Amino acid sequence: MKVLITDPIDDAGLERLREAGHDVETAYDVDGEALLEAVADANALVVRSGTEVTAEVFEAAPDLVIVGRAGIGVDNIDIDAATEHGVIVANAPEGNVRAAAEHTVAMSFAAARSIPQAHARLKTGEWAKSDYLGTELNGKTLGIVGLGRVGQEVAKRLDGLGMDLVAYDPYISEERADRLGAELVEFETCLERADFLTVHTPLTPETEGMISTGELELMGGGYLVNCARGGVVDEDALAAAVDDGTLDGAAIDVFAEEPVSPDSPLLDVDDIIVTPHLGASTEAAQENVATSIADQIDAAFAGEPVMNALNAPSVDESVFPRIRPYIGLAETAGKVAAQLLDGRISSVEVAYEGDIAEEDIELVTASALKGVFEPLEWQVNAVNAPQIAEERGIDVKESKRLQSEDFQSLVTVTVGNEQDSLSVCGTLFAGDDPRIVRIDGYRVDAIPHGKMLVARNADKPGVIGFIGSVLGEYNINIAGMFNARRDEEGGEALTVYNLDDPVPAEVVETLLADDRMIDVKYLTLNGADDGEE
């Protein structure tokens, strides 16, 4: 089999492919027509971030089985086009976890002891010993925002150095955090208690700019370290906070735009240490990602499961057409449930009733988990979602019942924590038309698509009119509305609005300021041009 490699990878990966008997061809720095020519007879394509794998590439490569990304990010690969052409896309997310964790620790020490600044001045002949009074990590509190794979490795290392650990992550169980020696707290508490704050979240619409002026003021001193993703921390706000003494310092490896602009305010503040996205730049990490991709290419050629496949359904071809409509339905129900539940998630249950309960629904359950975890994971998918649940200590249950009282088939996703739980039920009308039919016990008939507002309020006259008036004031058009109440007259009601326009945060704040409103959540689902896809 021919393996085309268009970006340099470690020799260990090349050797593993050759030892497996594959014809390995390297063609670095090819693009455009040259790339289409080179990939025409390839069975596998290995890239890093330098090669754009577009729909045209897949059209030009009829024999392509797999595209392997020697690293994590796959922004340069058109995964939808790959799926359309039956090509597996796989990456190597584990290979650089240790490297990124170690760089975070190194940056923490460098910031605390002003190592780069002192080094630079000594190189120019200044003996500036009295200018630098460092901070010891021992006995200090480490705040961890995002306790995923990298966050957990950082926790292990700095816990061993005598730091107290607090963490914010709504998608990990307290039991798992306890095993890591970390106390789970709310976001604001994490900021307030942290002497050192490390960031390990993906960049999503929910996390973009999540740490800005107000959040930095909550820290009231200390150091911020971001080796995760640029854009999570507001760079202008961070530069100002360190410059005016709100923070003691910061260490940044990732930027909203890379390469970072020479005009970035981060470069002008002496107590902000910067490195050019070196988190994964170690010999071991590069070897690990190269050999991981080589192994996955072997598995794909052999027709075996590809461990880090981002788009490959693990289901029999004869079953797939029957369960396919439920995959998106379950994912949407999981996404809605996770966003409506207040607090972290420690359990997920997916229940099937009616005809769907007779099918092989492993992929449907995995898709429900994908919807639950998607807001805070880099590349969660139906293949790796069960593994993410296990890593985060989340209890996952699956149940089936062949009878359904009201519908031919019903899928229910329930998310819960130690205090509360919330269920979202979905079904299909006319074979493949998805509907959300219950939310937290309220009977609705909502189209799970695009921009949605879910409002829970006192069941009193005038509330729906009030909501409509507020939306109208902000030129937000209502495309559909579904209202229900769970209890007797005068209790509580829930309304789901399908909207044509995005909902700014001030709209939600205006609605919640009315004492008749209990809760308001704005959701963006598949098809929304300003939310997740």
Q: Choose, from 33, 136, 188, 258, the residue flagged as catalytic.
A: 258
Please give the Cα distance from 249 to 273 (Å, whole number).
8
Please give the Cα distance from 521 to 533 (Å, whole number).
18
Q: Choose, from 149, 229, 438, 456, the residue flagged as catalytic.
A: 229
Strand residues in 19-175 grouped as ranges (E)? 23-26, 44-47, 66-69, 88-91, 141-145, 164-168
Q: Choose, from 277, 322, 485, 486, the residue flagged as catalytic.
A: 277
**Residues 293, 296, 297, 302: what is their CA dihedral angle, to the nearest 10 degrees?**
170
- List, as one string, the DSSP characters of 45-56: EEE-SS--B-HH
- Which amino acid makes up residue 489? E
258 is catalytic: yes
Handedness of CA 446, 452, 454, 455 (dihedral sign): negative
Q: Which of 225, 218, 154 is nearest to 186 (CA)?
A: 218
Tokens of 499: 């909207």
Handedness of CA 462, 467, 470, 473 (dihedral sign): negative
Contact 495, 481 (CB under 8 A): yes
Tokens of 335: 């996404």
Q: Which of 127, 124, 198, 138 is nearest to 167 (CA)?
A: 198
Handedness of CA 282, 288, 291, 293 (dihedral sign): negative
Q: Which of 487, 478, 481, 480 is nearest to 458 (CA)?
A: 487
Tokens of 351: 């229940």
Active site residues: 229, 258, 277
